[in-house]
Amino acid sequence: MDNERAVLSYLKEKYSTEGWLQRDKISVKDALKVLILDPLKASLGAQSDSSSFHIRLTYSEASDEALGVSKTTHESKRRKTDAENGSNCTSENSFEKVYEPCIFSVHCNKMPIFFSGRYFKYSRNVSQSRWIIDDERMGEASVEEILGGNILPACLGDSYKFHAAGREDIDVRMLGSGRPFLIEVQNSRQCPSEQSLKEVEEKINNSEKKLVGVKDLKCIGSQCWAMMREGEAEKQKQYVALVWIARPLEEKDFNSISSLKELKILQKTPVRVLHRRSPLDREKIIHWMNVEKIKGHSHYFLLHLCTQAGTYIKEFVHGDLGRTTPSMGSILGCRAEIIQLDVTDVKMGD
């Protein structure tokens, strides 16, 4: 290919006005593909077609040590000058005698395979993804490591990537129907059977600490990305929050809260995430809310609510120093604080 570029450079310089030089030309790379493909099919007894299994054939120039040849000072200077000038095209004088064949290597790999499912997080000390600050782990584990660490061995893969439809804070549990996720396994040597995946599910769900659970684990195609993007941006999420207010809860509060439907709120980027998120104003919708009493505790109640994806629930309750309006505190006319929060449903369908 270096020689091909050198020849083309020479021809364009010498025959720049010739029309035949402007017509489409087949490259050496494409010609090699045509020449190599039929012999490979014959010798391997296999057909050539699109596949998730890829074989990369690499031809590279032998090193100077292997050749036992030292470049002259002039050659070294010329190549250094070309590199500094940003030249990626060798001149017609760059042809060199070949002393040894090039080095040939074969690398086989398989395109990623994907697993989908829904996960549950039962602990308030487990992050969604691995979280390290100043070389210190935050939380006792992560959903990513528990799921990926169990699925990867079943695939005999090299590595995995974890993707989820949204996320919850480390101190928020994921309950109800679970949160949709994808595990992308790189270069797997085997695709687990349905029975193997059931065994992986059982191993995670029956672990001693029961930090994380999983359901509906299955192998799927890469078309899953559309579903994940929808889940992150457009769908509804349901929560239950344990709320404290500065005055006793009154009967009229139940109606005033439950009567609010499709409530539009404006949220500035919360103070707690300003260090990593742009300062923006976000308009979100609280679709519905209702209040559940806690017997014997007039200052506490459970708030059930359904919101647009991306709503900051903690800030909606306490107001975030006036950065979320309206808030539960402004609706009730008193200070409100959130004690605990759980996600109870992530709706992916219409």
326: tokens are 């309206």
Distance, in Å, from the CA atom of 175 to the CA atom of 345, rounded to the nearest integer, reads: 7
Distance, in Å, from the CA atom of 307 to the CA atom of 325, rounded to the nearest integer, reads: 15
Pick the closest to residue 174 from 227, 209, 128, 243 (CA basis).
128
332: tokens are 């009730």
Distance, in Å, from the CA atom of 216 to the CA atom of 315, rounded to the nearest integer, reads: 33
Which positions ≥6 away from 187 have C-beta within 8 Å? 109, 110, 112, 157, 158, 159
DSSP reduced 3-state for 248:
coil
Which positions ≥6 away from 115 have C-beta within 8 Å? 151, 182, 183, 185, 197, 217, 218, 219, 220
* Angular region, 216: left φ>0, alpha ψ -120 to 50, beta rest: left
Within the chain, strands assigned E span 53-60, 103-110, 113-121, 126-127, 132-133, 136-137, 141-142, 159-164, 173-186, 212-220, 236-245, 263-268, 281-293, 300-308, 324-325, 336-346
The H or E element that residue 52 is part of is: none
| Catalytic-labelled residue, pool 38, 82, 158, 169 | 169
190: tokens are 């085997």
135 is catalytic: no
Q: Check whether the bond before 326 is cis (ω within 30° of 0).
A: yes
Helix pair 194-205, 143-155: axis angle to 10 deg = 150
Decide: 204 and 114 in contact? Cβ < 8 Å: no
Residues classed as catalytic = 169
